[in-house]
Chain A
Amino acid sequence: MKLLLKIWRQKNAANKGQMVDYPIDGIEEDMSFLEMLDVLNEGLINKGEEPVVFDHDCREGICGMCSLQINGEPHGPDRKVTTCQLHMRMFNDGDTITIEPFRANAFPVVKDLMVDRSAFDRIQHAGGYVSVNTSGNTIDANATPINKGDADDAFNAAACIGCGACVAACKNASAMLFTSAKVSQYALLPQGQVEATERVQAMVAQMDAEGFGNCTNTGACEIECPKGISLENIARMNREYLSATIIG
C-alpha cells in the first residue's frame, strides 16, 4: 500500500507544532497501525531525521497507552479496538491518513503524538480505590455474595483501560465516561459502597479541576470506547452524585 500520512509534529510542550506530510510506500494490509508507524520511523531514522514520537506499550489492546486521533476518530475508523489493534486493511491504497494527538487542554502534548494523560491518574487517586484494613482480619472478597448482574456490570465498568478515547472523541473533551466507569466499578459492589459518597464527590471534583468539558450526552465516547464502556455508567454516576449531594 502507498499512503500519504499527515502527522502532527511538535518538538515539546512549549513548541507550537504543525501538520507535516510523509508519503510512505510498501505498507502491507496485515500490519497494525503502530507497525506502519514503526516502518515510517525506521525510514526517518535511516535518513537521519527525528522519528515520530507516539505512546505504545503492550500492543495487545489492554494497556491503554496507544492513543492517536486517526482521520478524525480516536483509535481510527474501526470499532472496539485500540490503535495497536487497528489494521492497515481498514484503509485503501492511495489513502491520505491524518494522525493527530488526542486533543484536550487536560491532555497537554508532550511531544508529537504523545500526550500527558496523568489527569486520569489524579482522578483515580481522588477516590478510585477501596480502603482495606490489612490487619489480618481482612475478609476474602469471594466470601461476600454478590448479585450476578451487579458483578457483571462492575466487571464491565472495570474493563476501562483509561486510554482517553472518550475525551478525545467528545466534542466537549469531557471525561465523564472514564470517571463514571471508575465510580461504577466500586459503587456496584458492597466493598465499594462504604466509601461511595466521598468517592463520587472527590472524583467528580478532581475531574472538574482538571479542566475537562461538560457532558452533553452526545454518546460519542461510548461509540469510540475500545472496551465498550456503556453510557449507563454516566447515568449511574449522575445518580450517585445527586444522592451524595442531596442525601449525603
Chain B
Amino acid sequence: MGGIIKSSIARKVAMALSGLFLVFFLLQHFSINLTSVFSKDAFNATSHFMGTNPLVQFVLQPVLIFGVVFHFIMGFILEIQNRKARSIKYAQYNGGANASWMSRNMIISGIVVLAFLGLHFYDFWIPEINTKFIQGDMSGMHNGELRYFTELQHKFVSPVRTLLYVISFAFLALHLLHGFASSFQSVGVNNKYSGGIQKFAKAFAIVIPAGFIFVAIFHHLNH
C-alpha cells in the first residue's frame, strides 16, 4: 500500500480522510448505543434495521471494513517508514519538550484500539454473522422478542470485559485527541477557523469515547 501511494503527502491525506470517515462512523455508532440507555425498543429496532438493511450490510459495511483495514495497515506502513528514516537513534531524545504524548504515540493508542476491535468482533460481529448468514436466521428474534438489547446487556455483565471497554475507549480518546484535530491540517485546513475546529475536535475526542464508556458502565450496573 505504501508503494501504491507513492507520495508522503498522498499517504498523509489518505490517513486523514480514512480517519475522518471512521470518526463519522464512530458518531453514528455512538448514537445507536445511546438509544440503549433510554429505550430498549428503540435500540432493538435500530439494531435490527442496521443488521438487516441490504444497503447497510452490503454497501456501507464493506466500505467501513475497508476504511478500518486501510487505516491500520497504512498506520503500520507509516510507522515502519518513519522508524527507517532515522536508523541511528538519539542517545537522548526529549520528545515531550516539543510534542504531546498523544501525537508521538499514535501507534500505541492505535494498537490498543485495534486489539479492542478484535474483542468487539469476537463479542458482536462474528456472532451476528454466524446467526444471520451461517444459520440463516434473519428474524432478529429470540424468546419471542428482538434479541439485540438482551445480548448487549449480557456482554456487560462481566466486570473484566467492561473494564477492557473502558480502557480501550480511554486509548481511543488519546488517539482522537491528536488524530481528529490533525486530520484537518493534513487536508490543508489551517486558517482563521482552525482554532474553533481544534477545540471542536478535542471536545469530540473526549465526549464521544466518554459516552461509549458511560453506556458500557450503565449496562454493567443495570443488567
Contact = CB atoms under 8 A, between A and B. Distances in A.
A211 B93 contact: no
A69 interface: yes
A1 B84 CA distance: 39
A220 B98 contact: yes
B82 A238 contact: no
Nearest to A205: B7
Contacts of A204: 7-9
Pick from B6, B13, B185 the residue with the most CB of A within 10 Å.
B185
Contacts of A73: 94, 97-98
A31 interface: no
Interface residues of A, number: 47
A144 interface: no
Interface stretch (B164-172, B187-195, B211-219): B187-195
Nearest to A97: B92
A228 interface: no
Contacts, number: 132
B106 interface: yes
B38 interface: no
Given A6-B91, A105-B84, A218-B104, A208 B98 contact: no
Given A77-B97, A219-B99, A173 B190 contact: no
A74 B82 CA distance: 18
A208 B82 contact: no
B94 A171 contact: no
A235 B189 contact: yes
Contact of B9 (A218, A219, A237): A237
Contacts of A192: none
B89 to A, nearest CB: 7
Contacts of A212: 8, 85
Interface of A (DSSP majority class) = mixed
Interface residues of B, number: 38
Interface stretch (A37-45, A58-66, A120-128, A239-247): A239-247
Contact of A216 (B78, B84, B190): B78
B91 A8 contact: yes
B103 A72 contact: no
Given A73-B94, A98-B92, A220-B95, A236 B190 contact: yes
B6 A208 contact: yes
Interface string A206-234: 01100111111111100110000001101
A208 B8 contact: yes
B11 interface: yes
A174 B84 CA distance: 11
B221 interface: no
Given A71-B94, A72-B97, A239 B188 contact: yes
8 contacts: A100-B91, A171-B82, A173-B85, A204-B7, A216-B12, A234-B185, A234-B190, A241-B9
Given A171-B99, A205-B7, A219-B100, 11 more contacts: A6-B91, A172-B85, A213-B8, A219-B98, A220-B95, A220-B99, A231-B190, A234-B190, A235-B189, A238-B185, A242-B188
